[in-house]
Amino acid sequence: MEDMLFYDRMQFAFTITFHYLFPQLTMGLSLMIVYFKWKFLRTKIDTYNDAAKFWMKIFALNFAMGVVTGIPMEFQFGTNWAKFSELTGGIIGQTLAMEGMFSFFLESSFLGLFLFGEKLLGHKLHFVTGFLVFLGSWASGYLIIATHSWMQHPVGYEILENGKFVLNNFSALFSNPWLLPAYLHNQLASLITASFVVAAIGAFYLLNNKHGEFGKLFVKTGVVFGLVSSILVAFPTGDWTAKNVVKHQPVTFAAMEGIFETEKGGSEIILIGQPDMENKKLDNKVAVPNILSFLTYQSWDAEIKGLNEFDKSLYPTNVPGLYYAYHIMVGLGTIFIGLMLAASIQLYRKRLYKTKWILWSLLLMLPLPYIANTTGWYTAELGRQPWLVYNLLKTGDGISPTVSSGNTLFTLLGFIGLYLLLGLLFLILVGKIINKGPLALKHN
């Protein structure tokens, strides 16, 4: 049974990690495309319209990859996690069905109109189709995170005698106190990814002395969007999300922050350290006194419970993994703010396009928002373990007893090979679009 659980979790972790590389770009990029199209309607400058169409081609490729990798992931609910689906399908089926029926079809339908309907529709209706693509992608994220939020903080349910969860308050799904901060935090994180991608491609053009007009536009837009989203993802949305964890999952918060012992007179914030689970302490710790108490409760001497306050059976399954995932996310987020702030200062001084070290930084940091988003999701998921539905349904009780560990391992290896090929093909196609540049669209 332990092998089955391990391989089921590994397969889902791999497929969802690979899948989320694509929606995190499309959600943020859809807003930036709407911005480019809106600027064109306001200014009548063709560069903005060309930029919108250029990025929509990359959006379309991302969208296709998200669909291809998302379908096998959802099938796992019926194969590897059939017991979980049987017990909770009456609740999570509501939001997942709404995401498929409404958001996905809204996004996909109007994506086709945006890509191929500009001449037929005219510029104003073309803008509307772009806006509806944005609306569909963000509504999709909302419904998915509504599902995730219920698993983190279950509301509006009752449990029948046969163990099945049923919904007794539909509105509670969407008034869940976990939902809004998690959704806003996630969407701003996706906007960070899109901002860095747009800025990185702009920096690539400027450093190679080609498509200079678009290079400047992409760098400027990416930096402005990136600065705003990097700040907002930390405060207020990150702060709001963390306070939800303190309130509803205090043992998870202690593990995230590396607090082994409750500290009287205020808790320090850990900058660097390595968890030692045997001795229940952090090795090589670098910390700032009392800061965590102030950030959490706005009081310098507020007490935050350590892991010593909780029974060991309540600990997250992988405390070191949770701790490192959280600190990687926070550390990268801090770097994003610093870089985008420096770039914004140079933009204000009208020196950004000639500041090579910033352009190189924007280009080379392209993978880091993907890592930050991934570790952010790992923080949420590792923090909930060993529960599928927090405090109600253990992860081990949700797997399918009839699917052997050998079958799961075999299909996992197949997914790894197939997804690597798909990823390589995706990079080649995107690379060709970037190399040709936005003006190539006019000659197609």
**For residue 104, what is the DSSP state?**
I
Q: What is the mean pLDDT of residues 405-412?
A: 92
Q: How confident is the model at residue 441 (pLDDT cuts 50, 70, 90)?
A: low
pLDDT, residue 44, reads 95
DSSP H helices, 280-318, are 291-297
Q: What is the mean pLDDT of residues 378-393?
A: 96
Q: How confident is the model at residue 109 (pLDDT cuts 50, 70, 90)?
A: confident
**42-92: per-residue pLDDT in tens?**
999 999 999 999 999 999 999 999 999 998 888 899 899 999 999 999 999
The pLDDT > 70 percentage for the chain reads 99
Q: How confident is the model at residue 442 (pLDDT cuts 50, 70, 90)?
A: low
**29-43: per-residue pLDDT in tens?**
999 999 999 999 999
Q: Which range is least confidently modeled, 95-109, 133-147, 401-415?
A: 95-109
* Residue 115 to residue 137: CA distance in whole angstroms: 16
Q: How confident is the model at residue 413 (pLDDT cuts 50, 70, 90)?
A: very high
Those residues whose C-beta lies under 8 Å from the C-beta of residue 353, and which sit 6 or more positions away, are 206, 215, 216, 219, 359
Q: How confident is the model at residue 378 (pLDDT cuts 50, 70, 90)?
A: very high
**For residue 99, what is the DSSP state?**
I
For residue 28, which phi and psi values (nearest 5 degrees)?
Answer: -70, -40
Cβ density class 339-371: b for 16+ within 10 Å, e for less: bbebbbebbeeeebbebeebbebbbebbebbbe
Q: Is the pLDDT of residue 397 over 60?
A: yes
CB atoms within 10 A of CB 61: 18
Q: Is the pLDDT of residue 297 over 80?
A: yes
Q: What is the mean pLDDT of residues 330-335?
A: 97
**316-326: per-residue pLDDT in tens?**
999 999 999 99
pLDDT, residue 263, reads 82
Q: What is the mean pLDDT of residues 374-394?
A: 97
pLDDT, residue 185, reads 98
Q: What is the mean pLDDT of residues 411-434?
A: 96
Q: What is the mean pLDDT of residues 397-409?
A: 92
The CB-side HSE value for 252 (13 A sphere, CA atoms) comes to 25
pLDDT, residue 265, reads 80
Which amino acid type is present at position 183?
Answer: Y
Q: How confident is the model at residue 416 (pLDDT cuts 50, 70, 90)?
A: very high
Contact 196, 369 (CB under 8 A): yes
**179-203: per-residue pLDDT in tens?**
999 999 999 999 999 999 999 999 9
Average pLDDT, the chain: 94
Q: Is the pLDDT of residue 444 over 60?
A: no
Q: How confident is the model at residue 438 (pLDDT cuts 50, 70, 90)?
A: very high
Of 428, 442, 359, 409, nearest in space to 5 by CA: 409
Q: What is the mean pLDDT of residues 124-152?
A: 96
Residue 99 structure tokens: 């995401």
Q: What is the mean pLDDT of residues 322-343?
A: 97
pLDDT, residue 103, reads 84
Q: What is the mean pLDDT of residues 272-285?
A: 93
Q: What is the mean pLDDT of residues 409-426?
A: 95
pLDDT, residue 1, reads 60
Q: How confident is the model at residue 100 (pLDDT cuts 50, 70, 90)?
A: confident
